[in-house]
Amino acid sequence: MLTLNGIYKNYGKKTVLSNISLQVSKGICLGLVGPNGAGKSTLIKIIASIIQDYRGELRFSDSVRIGYVPQDISLEETVSAKDNLQFFGRLYGLSGKALKERISEVLKEIGLEKREKDKVQTFSGGMKRRLNIGCAILHEPDLIIMDEPTVGIDPQSRQHIFQMVDRFREAGKTIIYASHYMEEIERLCDEAAFIDHGKIVENGTIQQILQKHAVPSIFVKGGNALPDKINEFGSVAAKNGGYIVQTNRPLDAMEFVLQFYKEKNDQLERLELVQPILEDVFFSLTGKELRD
């Protein structure tokens, strides 16, 4: 659906995107992940054609209708939800019965049908975020680009947004979803692109990224210290009152620990296989935590 080839973007002398190349296939949900300032919004604005002064190639395979959900909520607070939808609907060229019908569908989709006449200034942060999404989908876009759509909202609205993304996927939409919450990317996306300092440091399906980079670990907690020779299995770090051993031989390491505790006749509180998660992969590739 969309190809980015060697994209560069500068603000003055500062390079904020450097040699970005990406393929986005139709019907997938791609997560753009990176810490604050990594360049996610700039990249999204290039894809949405809001920023046009960049170098490199941006190519769409068909004619694609884009729905863009900006990071900063862009609504008129002094009028109702419905009036905001009407304004955006007209911008997309909708009018009359078609606009009316679409507004009522969207109000249902975003869960605001009962609040349609209320002024936006009376809405919670989560309701505003949902309306912000509603304004971007009125024209039934094929590609929905969402820039950190869940920042600073209540858990119910967050769940509502997740379910909306699921429905968009089921309807065959292509989605680009920027976030610095890795668990959202794991929950929602098929593929991910990790961005740091304006560069893509890794991308692929979530499964591929995990298989390529994630090292399994075991967690051990108990009365005894770890056996000296545990270092032969991999690196050891203290965590939550116990130890994490990163190892490519997790089952052998577990057996080794079990044997050790049996011989010492000591109590083992916990011995667990820890599944690798994307957050750890991001950290190992960039040395950065994603949290604020």
**Does 16 engage in binding with ligand ATP (CB under 6 A)?**
yes
**Does 223 engage in binding with ligand ATP (CB under 6 A)?**
no
Residues 89-118 interacting with ligand ATP (rule: CB under 6 A):
none
**Does 31 engage in binding with ligand ATP (CB under 6 A)?**
no
Report the residue from 38, 99, 136, 209 that binds ligand ATP according to the rule CB under 6 A: 38
Scan for tokens 């968009």, then name that residue.
168
Neighbours of 91 (CB within 10 A): 11
Q: Which residues contact 171 (CB under 8 A, 6 or more apart)?
A: none
Please say whether the beta carbons of 34 and 180 come within 8 A: yes
Report the residue from 4, 22, 30, 42 that binds ligand ATP according to the rule CB under 6 A: 42
**Does 11 engage in binding with ligand ATP (CB under 6 A)?**
yes
Residues 122-151 interacting with ligand ATP (rule: CB under 6 A):
148
Report the residue from 22, 29, 40, 165 that binds ligand ATP according to the rule CB under 6 A: 40
**Does 50 engage in binding with ligand ATP (CB under 6 A)?**
no
Q: Stretches 30-38, 76-84, 169-177, 262-270: which one binds ligand ATP (CB under 6 A)?
A: 30-38
- Where do contacts with ligand ATP occur on this chain (CB under 6 A)? 11, 16, 34, 36-42, 71, 148
